[in-house]
Structure 1
Amino acid sequence: MRCLVTGATGYIGGRLVPELLDAGHEVRCMARRPDRLQAYPWADRVEIVEADVLDPDALRTALDGVEVAYYLIHAMGKGGDFASRDRRAARSFAGVAEETGVGRIVFLGGLYSGGQVSPHLRSRAEVGEILLASGVPTAVLRAAVVLGSGSASFEMLRYLTERLPAMVTPKWVDSRIQPIAIRDVLRYLVGAAELPPEVNRAFDIGGPDVLTYRQMMGRYAAVAGLSPRVIVPVPVLSPKLSSLWVGLITPVPSGIARPLVESLTSEVVCREHDIAAYVPDPPNGLIGFDEAVRLALKRIREADVATRWSSASTPGAPSDPLPTDPDWAGGSLYTDERTRATGAAPEAVWKVVEGIGGDNGWYSLPVAWRLRGLADRLVGGVGLRRGRRDPGRLRIGDALDFWRVEAIEPGRLLRLRAEMLLPGLAWLELRVRPDENGGTVYEQRAIFHPHGLPGQLYWWAIYPFHGIIFGGMPRNITRRAERN
């Protein structure tokens, strides 16, 4: 079946495409800037067309021969009258889809349960109504908070919980919400392609748990291994003030945070589960909140977190971050990166890199490293006493002072994982590569993933010393290589 995915550069679209491909569908992706799709690991498996939803001629080309069209376009976060832009875009798409004979439209909208509805949810509902009235059989899937690394609503929950052990919150923390795991969202979206042609309606989709936002923060903290959060709701914080507060605490852009906060003032709980008649629940049931959070945090718990933020490899699952996710997605990650060119041969630089630690030391301010080792011993850590197994060679798994060799590519890469006691996870990555002039470029990256507020405070407390500790290493390593 030939499927068109609009919004393929977005959170849902970027994860839907490989799921459709794995289900055996042909996929065409529509984008205003096709170059942005080249960064995705599946780019060479799809057809890419350049089109704007408000350009009927380009849209006809994009929809030509399409059997199922996924409408994943919305203007949230772009400022101005997003509802008006969404309305015009939906009418344009609906008209051209009917004209070109598209067999089905699938739209992912927002879940709402009546009562006061935010402008964002009202706009999502209006778009769904426009598509349902298009004359093309349409499935509108309505979801609340989507749980997965990179989802704006999940990232807001992540940052608020991790950065604030105690907080005064607006009263919307007690609104009831039925979140859904990204894996289940994608399963429903893929399954909607096979709906009978007579199905033209909206479906509520949600996970098995109905929770307040306060309960979600508490359960996130438990899954993430954080201390219980103290949450005190007050009635005086309006959605506008709340979004400013969220913007201060989290890196989620205010243009996205405000519509999300406004949506949380409404109860968003499924009123029916009719979708199961067409897309049955998995044998083990839908993914619950705790498991969805565990899946979203899984890559942060694994050893390959050090490459997660820089690798363009295909994620292992929809819950994993994509390399193209926004910079603010995936949780806090602090880095200290330094580069130095030298006329020494790559082999000479690598010899110094592989000999680091133990009796050779760390090539910068030895007293600082000794003090750090002593501090680690005082709190029960390993300190610097372990040294190294071999003075000139390293292998994966070797202890190296208070580090452990996690990865080694001879002549190119040494990655060390910190085993000192820390409120977070830390790595030191040393790379060697030849330059075009016959010399060498030495690259160094220190990486820290904080654990809760103590981790945040730790990073900023030691930040002033980075220039002393890490700044001298590239200079001294390359100088030692030049002398050898």
Structure 2
Amino acid sequence: MRSLVTGATGYIGGRLAPRLLDAGHSVRCLARDARRLRDAPWADRVEIVQGDLTAPETLPAAMEGVDVAYFLVHSLGRSDFEEVDRVAAANFAAAARAAGVRRIVYLGGPEPAPGDRPSPHLRSRAEVARILLESGVPTAVLRAPVIIGSGSASFEMLRHLTERLPVMVTPRWVHNRIQPIAVRDVLRYLIGAADLPAEVNRGFDIGGADVLTFLEMMRRYARVAGLPRRFILPVRVLSPWLSAHWVGLVTPVPNAIARPLVASLVHEAVAHENDLAQLLPGPEPLGFDESVRLALGKIRDADVETRWTSASGRDAAAEPLPSDPDWSGGSVYVDERFRPVAAPADRLWRVIEGIGGENGWYSFPLAWSVRGWLDRLAGGVGLRRGRRDRHHLRVGEALDWWRVEEMVPGSLLRLRAEMRVPGRAWLEMRAEPDGSGGSVYRQRAVFLPRGLGGHLYWASVLPFHGIVFNGMARNITRTAETESLRGGAGEAVTHR
């Protein structure tokens, strides 16, 4: 079966394309700029056609020979998103009909209850659904509420609000009922909809196993994420407009996206039928807690170097992708330094592997000592563990308040912090040849905050980073250059 995926650079499309391939589909992706897909790990397995849904002359080539066409684009974030999506849907429908496409599949939003005045976002989604259902091509419209997965704008709002605010004043809509669904289940329904009988031309409600209020979702998110109980006080004075600005202030989700999403939360989003699940038998949809665990799995547990892959063995659909927007995937604070070194990479590596213990940390010894004492007072390990061997390390061993998480001899040392901090922290050091007999030293500190305390902790130590981390990079490279001049016969210089 040949499938066309529009929106392949977006949240759902970027996850659907590789799963269609795994299901045996031949996949063609339509993109306004084909270069945006070149770094996708599955790009060499799909056909990429450059085109624009608002430019109808570009669509016949995309639709040629297609059996199933997925409409997964929206212009949320633009002030004229309703008009743009209306034109895109009409062009898409006409091109699909002319090309003899067998089925259209569209992922839309929930239908407001009769008598409700829909938000512009939901009104636009309903209009697109109507255009596609009236196209003359059998169409399946999947009406999804909040989608749980890293990168979903609704989930990112939930994540950041809950993690950053232990006490919240919230609008009344936090009591509205929602039936959130895991992105894994959304993708399963999208793939299955391609095989629906030809006579099926209708909308379907889809949802997860739990019906919750937004307030309950925040509290259960906090519990799954290991955060203290959140205290939430609903009030009557926050209009959707004020709520959207409040969300924009507290979270990194852009205001242009937050506004229409928050306006949609004034409507309940609960499935009124379960017909698609009956037509597409499969596993039961996940509950909210398990969906959140999957979404947080990579952020919480994986090593920082492979956070864009599914090294943890969890469901990669729920985890971040490189194509996701910068504001998705949770907060990650990074301090990066690099310096050219007038010494070979093997000399630089000797200094890197010898760090810690009696050799010290090459920067501001008093600051490291004070931090170690504070850690011990808080019940942590401090700096008392030292190191097993003065010159050599191995994966898994303790190194002061760090643990050697990964090591590639001669090039990479990654340490995971075991000190008491409100989050998780890594320190990574690399030695890279520069091609001319010298080398480059790269240093990266990564911190994943846990709750508001984690964000405040990073802000409190940020003023010292220029002293500690810059001094560390400077002194490591100087030591490598000094040892290189001495012929490397001596031991590493002690920098306690």
Shorter-chain TM-score above 0.5: yes
TM-superposed CA distance for 1:236, in Å, is: 1.1
State the distance in 1 between where 2:14 and 2:455 align.
30
- Matched ranges for 1:24-35 at <5 A: 24-35=24-35
Deviation per residue, 1:328-371 (Å, 9 max, x gap): 11111101101100111100000000000000000001111111
Q: Quick one: which amino acid aligns to residue 437 of structure 1? A: S
Distance 1:429 1:309, change over 3 A: farther
Q: Quick one: which amino acid aligns to residue 249 of structure 1? A: V
Deviation per residue, 1:191-238 (Å, 9 max, x gap): 001011110000000011111100100100011111111111111111
Structure 1 SS opposite 2:249 = helix
Q: Which residue of structure 2 lines up, in the alignment, with residue 61 of structure 1?
A: 61
After TM superposition, the structure 1 stretch with the greater mean CA deviation from structure 2, 303-312 or 120-129, is 303-312
Structure 1 SS opposite 2:29 = strand
Distance 1:437 1:312, change over 3 A: farther
Q: Is the 1:311–1:323 contact (alpha carbons within 8 Å) kept by the matching residues of 2?
A: no
Structure 1 SS opposite 2:394 = coil
Q: Which residue of structure 1 lines up, in the alignment, with residue 216 of structure 2?
A: 215
State the distance in 1 between where 2:314 and 2:434 align.
31
Structure 2 SS opposite 1:471 = helix
Q: Quick one: which amino acid aligns to residue 406 of structure 2? A: A
Q: Is the 1:4–1:63 contact (alpha carbons within 8 Å) kept by the matching residues of 2?
A: yes
1:300 aligns with 2:320: no
State the distance in 2 between where 1:316 and 1:49 align.
29
Q: Which residue of structure 2 lines up, in the alignment, with residue 242 of structure 1?
A: 243
1:458 aligns with 2:457: yes
- Matched ranges for 1:29-48 at <5 A: 29-48=29-48
Q: Which residue of structure 1 lines up, in the alignment, with residue 122 of structure 2?
A: 121
Q: Quick one: which amino acid aligns to residue 461 of structure 1? A: S
TM-superposed CA distance for 1:436, in Å, is: 3.2
Q: Which residue of structure 1 lines up, in the alignment, with residue 401 of structure 2?
A: 402
Distance 1:324 1:97, change over 3 A: same
Q: Which residue of structure 2 lines up, in the alignment, with residue 390 of structure 1?
A: 389
After TM superposition, the structure 1 stretch with the greater mean CA deviation from structure 2, 310-319 or 231-240, is 310-319
Q: Is the 2:297–2:314 contact (alpha carbons within 8 Å) kept by the matching residues of 1?
A: no
Q: Which residue of structure 1 lines up, in the alignment, with residue 490 of structure 2?
A: none
Deviation per residue, 1:156-209 (Å, 9 max, x gap): 000000000001111111111111000000000000010111100000000111
- Matched ranges for 1:98-137 at <5 A: 98-114=97-113, 115-137=116-138
TM-superposed CA distance for 1:372, in Å, is: 0.7
TM-superposed CA distance for 1:438, in Å, is: 2.3
Q: Is the 1:388–1:401 contact (alpha carbons within 8 Å) kept by the matching residues of 2?
A: yes
State the distance in 2 between where 1:264 and 1:437 align.
59
TM-superposed CA distance for 1:377, in Å, is: 0.6
Q: Quick one: which amino acid aligns to residue 43 of structure 1? A: A
Unaligned runs of 5+ in 1: none
Q: Which residue of structure 2 lines up, in the alignment, with residue 145 of structure 1?
A: 146
State the distance in 2 between where 1:476 and 1:310 align.
34
Distance 1:343 1:316, change over 3 A: farther
After TM superposition, the structure 1 stretch with the greater mean CA deviation from structure 2, 247-256 or 307-316, is 307-316
Distance 1:311 1:213, change over 3 A: closer
State the distance in 2 between where 1:384 and 1:313 align.
30
After TM superposition, the structure 1 stretch with the greater mean CA deviation from structure 2, 216-225 or 50-59, is 50-59
After TM superposition, the structure 1 stretch with the greater mean CA deviation from structure 2, 307-316 or 417-426, is 307-316
Q: Which residue of structure 1 lines up, in the alignment, with residue 489 of structure 2?
A: none
TM-superposed CA distance for 1:251, in Å, is: 0.2
TM-superposed CA distance for 1:80, in Å, is: 2.0
Q: Is the 1:106–1:192 contact (alpha carbons within 8 Å) kept by the matching residues of 2?
A: yes
- Matched ranges for 1:283-294 at <5 A: 285-294=284-293
Q: Quick one: which amino acid aligns to residue 32 of structure 1? A: R
State the distance in 2 between where 1:118 and 1:444 align.
48
Distance 1:337 1:242, change over 3 A: same
Q: Is the 2:54–2:84 contact (alpha carbons within 8 Å) kept by the matching residues of 1?
A: no
Structure 1 SS opposite 2:463 = helix
Structure 1 SS opposite 2:335 = strand
The two structures have a TM-score, normalised by structure 1, of 0.97
State the distance in 2 between where 1:470 and 1:26 align.
49
- Matched ranges for 1:192-231 at <5 A: 192-231=193-232
Structure 2 SS opposite 1:39 = coil
Deviation per residue, 1:439-471 (Å, 9 max, x gap): 111000001001101111111011111111111
State the distance in 1 between where 2:315 and 2:41 align.
12
Q: What is the aligned residue count?
A: 481
Q: Which residue of structure 1 lines up, in the alignment, with residue 336 of structure 2?
A: 337
TM-superposed CA distance for 1:315, in Å, is: 8.6
Q: Which residue of structure 1 lines up, in the alignment, with residue 84 of structure 2?
A: 85
Structure 2 SS opposite 1:5 = strand
Q: Which residue of structure 2 lines up, in the alignment, with residue 352 of structure 1?
A: 351
Q: Quick one: which amino acid aligns to residue 292 of structure 1? A: S
Structure 2 SS opposite 1:167 = strand
Report percent identity of matched pairs. Answer: 65
Q: Is the 2:140–2:204 contact (alpha carbons within 8 Å) kept by the matching residues of 1?
A: yes
Point out 4+ residue stretches in structure 1 off by more than 4 angstroms.
309-316
TM-superposed CA distance for 1:277, in Å, is: 2.3
TM-superposed CA distance for 1:316, in Å, is: 5.3
Q: Quick one: which amino acid aligns to residue 65 of structure 1? A: G
1:70 aligns with 2:70: yes
Q: Which residue of structure 2 lines up, in the alignment, with residue 379 of structure 1?
A: 378
State the distance in 1 between where 2:322 and 2:53 align.
26
TM-superposed CA distance for 1:320, in Å, is: 1.3
State the distance in 2 between where 1:313 and 1:441 align.
30
State the distance in 2 between where 1:339 and 1:231 align.
44
Structure 2 SS opposite 1:266 = coil
Q: Quick one: which amino acid aligns to residue 376 of structure 2? A: R
Q: Which residue of structure 2 lines up, in the alignment, with residue 477 of structure 1?
A: 476
TM-superposed CA distance for 1:312, in Å, is: 12
Deviation per residue, 1:104-123 (Å, 9 max, x gap): 00000001231231110010
TM-superposed CA distance for 1:301, in Å, is: 2.4
State the distance in 2 between where 1:450 and 1:383 align.
20
State the distance in 2 between where 1:280 and 1:417 align.
43
State the distance in 2 between where 1:436 and 1:312 align.
31
TM-superposed CA distance for 1:253, in Å, is: 0.7
Q: Which residue of structure 2 lines up, in the alignment, with residue 51 of structure 1?
A: 51
Q: Quick one: which amino acid aligns to residue 22 of structure 1? A: D
TM-superposed CA distance for 1:300, in Å, is: 2.1
Structure 1 SS opposite 2:456 = helix
